[in-house]
Chains A and B, each alone.
Chain A
Amino acid sequence: MLSYALRRVLSAIPVALIAITACFFILRLAPGGPFDQERALPANILRNLRAAYDLDQPLVVQYFLYLARLLRGDLGPSMVVQDFTVSQLLALGLPFSIMLGLVAFVIATAIGLLAGMIAAVTRNKWPDYVLVLVVMIGLVVPNFLMGSLLQLMFGVYLKWLPAGGWQPGSVAHLVLPVTVLAWPHAARISRLMRGSMIEVLGSNYVRTATAKGLGQRLILARHAIKPALLPVVSYLGPGLSYLLTGSLIVEQIFGLPGIGKYFINAALNRDYGLVLGTVILYMFLILALNLIVDLIYAWLDPRVRYR
């Protein structure tokens, strides 16, 4: 198991280097630059700005300067958010994004698994239909619309919850963003779990267990849940990285201090340093999460380790 984990970690290093290099050059090839704005800047001011961020150097020199800085653990300055370095911005936003993503992940996974199991067990009966309907809402309604609807319903009309913003330690401020973020995720998990569970419940060994007279709860607990979890587990890694990195719209709508929106804003503003910083961070998160999922998968199905 340890050598398997080590192999996976080592194989991630060239992947990371390729991703950073590709991102660096693709960014520079994109039209526009960090100092493009509505008003043309006088040539000398533009020259001052470019010199301040090494953009007056040849591209290859800039690349190696960046790598050298990166090796020292320095992600460099943000070219647009000037009062912070990239590291400072990420350090400020990351804990919040992780907290938001993890809370949404735990809730979505718990609800998704439970709903999927209930739907599978009550297949083609009313609880199944109700759950399928709720799941469909989560999948069909885009999160910006869902966010606005929930804000209107619970913030504006009922005034039960804050319509946005963030106060450290306030659970109330998290309810609506977490709901918007978790709903589609829970919906996907419940669909996977339902399908997988139906398949397991129709398998020979479950039929045999039923024939032996075991109760349904015992069959579910002892024979059905673990194998039914396999397809769900393989979704959890990408699902978690989606929740950790994909809260852009939710953060925008609710005015939350995460890093999700930095990525898009930085890309739109051609803030090279911040884009690369967020890419590196996301890449690290995705690689780490995929590794964790693979390890869990290998634990659930030992054949994986030896492939």
Chain B
Amino acid sequence: MKFTTAMKAVATASVFALMMSTAASAVTLQLHNGGDPRTLDPHKASGNWEDRPISDYIEGLMTLDPLGEPVLGQAASYDVSEDGLVYTFTLRDDAVWSDGTPVTAQDFVLGAQRLQDPATASSYAYLNHFIENAEAINSGEITDFDELGVKAIDDKTVEITLNAPTPYLLAALTHYTAYPVPSHVVEEHGEAWSQIDNLVANGPYVPVEWVPGSFIRSEKNDSYYDAANVAIDEVVYHITEDDNAALNRYRAGEFDILSSFPADQYQLLQDQYPGEAHVAPFLGVYYYVMNQESEALKDMNVRKALSISLNREVIGPDVLGTGELPAYGWVPPGTANYEGEQYMPDWASEDYGTRIADATALMEAAGYSADNPLNLQLRYNTNENHRRIAVAIASMWEPIHVRVELFNAEVGPHYDALQEGDFQIGRAGWLMDYNDASNMLDLLKSGTAQAGGNIAWGNNYGRYSNAEYDALLAQAATELDLVARAGMMHEAEAIAMDEFGVLPIYYYVSKWVISPRISGFEDNAVDRHLTRYLSKSE
């Protein structure tokens, strides 16, 4: 054997041995991540299955603690102006990208500009339209990006100017839309900066491998300022949309964490894996929209009858089996900046039999009877749970002279029909983007007039409209006193609910399964859980 060949063999064996020893000691988290991520670019992402790998590799000015509360991230400190319109953040001295380049204020400015750049075509750009000139830049009215209200005062200071006081700003900065981008990598690779081979991270992990349809693998970023406290060395985000298959793999010991599970397996989990299934409320509402332009549903008494005859108490425990909380109001419990009592109508405490009798009377007063029932079409998007709920609710409405035709469609055409107003009753759901009541209440604001005489109703699919409601929300948007602001929003919520502008059914719950080997996982209202807080015992 030649000397060089022998040396190569020794070197290869050494590297292999080193890899083996590293592999043996590395702690790998096997995480079921649900759907197939569409992108690792924070400004093009839109789902929580993208948020998990992204929020593990990029960190914003603010980040989340294990309980989902905003805490300082890449920022070391911040100041707020007296009028609540200008926030000044100072970056940490030890904030660096994984290639050793320091994180600068310019990275945040570029991130914010890129989000609003029409060429980026970010579908969530509107979430940050509270920033000065953001909406105008995004719509192309302003083409000079330097007019955006996010500026670099110097390398380590970022200034954000808002249109109006935004009490949820710190929470909004934890969202991936507010994340920075590595300017030096974007300069070098352009839009390909977020491809797996080009990525650099300022968060606790760096994605290193992506097999579409199968998994994304990230490794610990040793340049992260808090790397010493990061216990998991490697995370594999497994792509498995079939919840039953994912549960089988958890039971086979292949997954440490499931990010969802089939509702009908909840009992099995409780019996066979006590304490491992985590079902906890989080910020979102499952609801039916009632088209206020539909002849029958214009009548508030009909809408009231439909709402009070709905037995919400059985939906979560019996129809779904996972104990979702019944929703009588619009803003979920646990919402931030929302001091005051939760909305609860008087009729909610009445005996269900009485409610059915009242609802029947209301329907009969509206001209409907057993011989002349109200025929309604109920649209829902394809999903076994949506179907079960629709069937249950249709049977609840039968005694009050309502005959329901169920109509299901794929998610795209379903929401297309809702947005077009082409429905009578439609299933919808809203998971809050940031923890503030305005994110729910804005859904019921009146539409705005567009060129050509159209009205853009946005996500207000039912076309609910009340001038007093709109005025209260407009007033709340500029109110600095958080208690007074909450009061205005409570008043607005009561108006919409008393008019049965929408039909809330239940508050969402998050459904995780956590292996006993994992510690550090905390249920939280925003249902976001950063890997950096987790640890795994062998």
Seen from chain A, the residues whose Cβ lies within 8 Å of a Cβ on chain B are: 31-33, 35-45, 47-49, 51-52, 80-84, 89, 92-93, 144, 147-148, 151-152, 155-156, 159, 162-166, 251-259, 261-262, 265, 268-270
Contact = CB atoms under 8 A, between A and B. Distances in A.
B341 interface: no
A151 B212 contact: no
Contact of A165 (B139, B140, B215, B242): B215
B428 interface: yes
B248 A255 contact: no
A49 B121 contact: yes
Given A36-B413, A42-B458, A81-B36, A165 B122 contact: no
Contact of B213 (A37, A83, A93, A268): A93
A258 B245 contact: no
Nearest to A256: B214
B252 A162 contact: yes
Interface stretch (B40-48, B59-67, B142-150): B40-48
Contact of A40 (B40, B210, B459): B459
Interface stretch (B164-172, B223-231, B233-241, B385-393): B233-241
Contact of B212 (A43, A163, A257): A257
B119 interface: yes
A163 B251 CA distance: 9
Contacts of A269: 412
Listed from nearest, the 6 A-B pairs whose CB atoms lie closest are: A32-B412, A257-B214, A163-B252, A44-B139, A36-B412, A155-B252
B126 A45 contact: yes
Contacts of A261: 213
B284 to A, nearest CB: 11
B212 A148 contact: no
A166 B214 contact: yes
B258 to A, nearest CB: 13
B288 to A, nearest CB: 14
Contact of B252 (A49, A83, A89, A151): A151
18 contacts: A31-B413, A31-B416, A32-B410, A32-B413, A37-B123, A37-B415, A44-B118, A45-B123, A45-B126, A45-B138, A48-B119, A83-B196, A89-B212, A92-B211, A156-B252, A163-B249, A269-B412, A270-B412
A36 B123 CA distance: 11
B100 interface: no
Interface in B109-159: 118-123, 125-126, 138-140
A152 B247 CA distance: 10
A40 B462 CA distance: 13
Given A45-B138, A83-B194, A268-B412, A164 B41 contact: no
Contacts of A47: 118
A179 to B, nearest CB: 15
B419 interface: yes
Nearest to A97: B213
B214 A37 contact: no
A43 B450 contact: yes
Contacts of B139: 44
A41 to B, nearest CB: 6
Contact of B245 (A49, A92, A253, A270): A253
B411 A268 contact: yes
B214 to A, nearest CB: 4
Nearest to B417: A31
A38 B415 CA distance: 6
Given A82-B38, A147-B245, A155-B248, A42 B412 contact: no
B446 interface: no
Contact of B38 (A42, A80, A148): A80
A58 B409 CA distance: 27
A164 B412 contact: no
Interface of B: 36, 38-41, 44, 46, 118-123, 125-126, 138-140, 194-196, 210-215, 238-242, 244-245, 248-249, 251-254, 409-413, 415-416, 419, 428-430, 450, 456-459, 461
B211 A40 contact: no
B133 to A, nearest CB: 14
A251 B119 CA distance: 35
A143 to B, nearest CB: 12
A40 B458 contact: yes
A90 to B, nearest CB: 10
Given A44-B138, A52-B119, A83-B40, A165 B254 contact: yes
A301 to B, nearest CB: 41
B36 A265 contact: yes
A211 B139 CA distance: 89
A146 to B, nearest CB: 12
Contacts of A37: 46, 123, 411-412, 415
Given A43-B456, A257-B212, A268-B410, A165 B238 contact: yes
A173 to B, nearest CB: 10
A43 B118 CA distance: 12
B212 A92 contact: yes
B211 A164 contact: no
A257 B211 contact: yes
Contact of A159 (B36, B241, B252, B457): B252
A155 B249 contact: yes
Given A45-B125, A48-B119, A165-B215, A255 B410 contact: no
A88 to B, nearest CB: 9
Contacts of A84: 212
B130 to A, nearest CB: 14
B253 to A, nearest CB: 7
A38 B38 CA distance: 16
* Residue from the set B194, B254, B459 with the largest chain A CB neighbour count within 10 Å: B254
A151 B245 contact: yes
Contacts of B461: 40
A30 to B, nearest CB: 8
Contacts of A80: 38
Contact of B140 (A44, A52, A255): A44
A55 to B, nearest CB: 11
A52 B419 CA distance: 22
B413 A156 contact: no
Contacts of B211: 92, 166, 257
A252 B239 CA distance: 9
A33 B212 contact: no
Given A82-B41, A252-B241, A262-B213, A156 B118 contact: no
Contacts of A270: 412
A33 B416 CA distance: 8
A45 B122 contact: yes
Given A83-B38, A165-B214, A261-B213, A255 B416 contact: no
B115 to A, nearest CB: 11
Contacts of A265: 36
A297 to B, nearest CB: 35
A36 B420 CA distance: 12
A224 to B, nearest CB: 43
A252 B194 contact: no
A32 B417 CA distance: 9
Contacts of A257: 211-214
Given A31-B413, A45-B121, A83-B194, A38 B249 contact: no
A61 to B, nearest CB: 20
B43 to A, nearest CB: 10
Contact of B249 (A36, A51, A164, A166): A164
Contacts of A156: 248, 251-252
